[in-house]
A = this chain, B = another copy of it.
Amino acid sequence: MQEPVHDVFARQKFMATIGARLLRAESGECDVELRFSESIGQQTGVVHAGAIAAIADSACGGAALTMWPEGSDVVSIEFKLNLLAPARGEKLVAKAQVLRAGKTITVCRADVFAGDVLVATMLGTMMRR
């Protein structure tokens, strides 16, 4: 696991709050896991779209960071999330990949899975700082 991404992730208190952890980050890819708990649910008990957005966004940021020089930080300019299926199960995994790496702007996609089921997909734009 690349140290800088690990460091950035560790400083994202919101990830600990929702029960997310970094699985890996390298070569333009980053996976983030979210363990299910009632505290991240919406009104029907499945995971709230905001929690899904959170791990997909952090995974996109992590993937982007792997492509930039050491010492870079990342900020999200924007993202779009489509919810495809109810997010149920013991855990979710957001798997992000860089689609286009630029010096300043990097575009990423993140697919979020509950087991084998694609429950959401994000397309997002990250900026280096």
Nearest opposing residue in chain B for A111, CB measure: B99
A114 at the interface (CB under 8 A from B): no
In the complex, the answer to whether B82 meets A14 with C-beta atoms within 8 Å is no
Task: Give which listed residue, B43, B49, B77, B100, contacts A53 with CB less than 8 A.
Answer: B49
Query: Residues of B contacting A55 with CB < 8 Å?
Result: 50
Oligomeric state, in copies: 4
A59 to chain B, nearest CB (A): 11
Which residues 3-25 of A have a CB within 8 angstroms of B? 8-9, 11-18
Task: Report how far A83 CA is from B44 CA in the complex, Å.
Answer: 28
A111 to chain B, nearest CB (A): 9
Query: Residues of B contacting A17 with CB < 8 Å?
Result: 17-18, 39-40
A31 at the interface (CB under 8 A from B): no
Chain A interface, DSSP helix/strand/loop, else mixed:
mixed
A48 at the interface (CB under 8 A from B): yes
Q: Could you list 5 further interchain pairs (A-B, Cβ under 8 angstroms) beyond the known A14-B47, A82-B107?
A: A13-B40, A78-B123, A84-B100, A104-B104, A109-B121
Query: Residues of B contacting A8 with CB < 8 Å?
Result: 43
A55 to chain B, nearest CB (A): 7
Task: Give which listed residue, B11, B43, B48, B118, contacts A43 with CB less than 8 A.
Answer: B11
Nearest opposing residue in chain B for A105, CB measure: B77
